[in-house]
Amino acid sequence: MIGDEYTTREVFVDRDYSYDIATWIKGNSMEPTYLNGEVALIRETGFDYDGAVYALVCNGESFIKKVYREATGIRLVSINPTIPDRFFSYEEEPKIIGKVIGHFMPIE
């Protein structure tokens, strides 16, 4: 454990993704593209364009979602149509960690 908050594992992949951060995907909100239990590979970037999939943090929660900028905040959109959109105002200080550039299901 790192700082009593994170567990680390060594992962081997068969190609170079040039990523900065890897994190587990939890839940079904981004299915069928991103599956529960997969690992998302994230390149630390700012916001590039509406509709790209980003990792972000707001109000102590982390998300992997399609992001759309609006006049007063950002809208987080799931790929799974049964999951409602989330909206965070700019006053809530949503922070984009980076763009999701790859994902895979680990083999145990």
Domain ranges for the chain: 21-104
Query: What is the token pair recorded at 23?
Result: 């994190």
The predicted model scores a pTM of 0.83
Per-residue HEC secondary structure of 43-107 comes to ECCCCCCCCCEEEEEECCEEEEEEEEECCCEEEEECCCCCCCCEEEEHHHCCEEEEEEEEEECCC
Q: Write out pLDDT tens, residues 43-88.
A: 998 888 999 999 999 999 999 999 999 999 999 999 999 999 999 9
Q: CATH number for the 21-104 domain, one of 1.20.1050.10, 2.10.109.10, 3.90.640.10, 1.10.10.10? A: 2.10.109.10
At residue 11, the pLDDT reads: 63
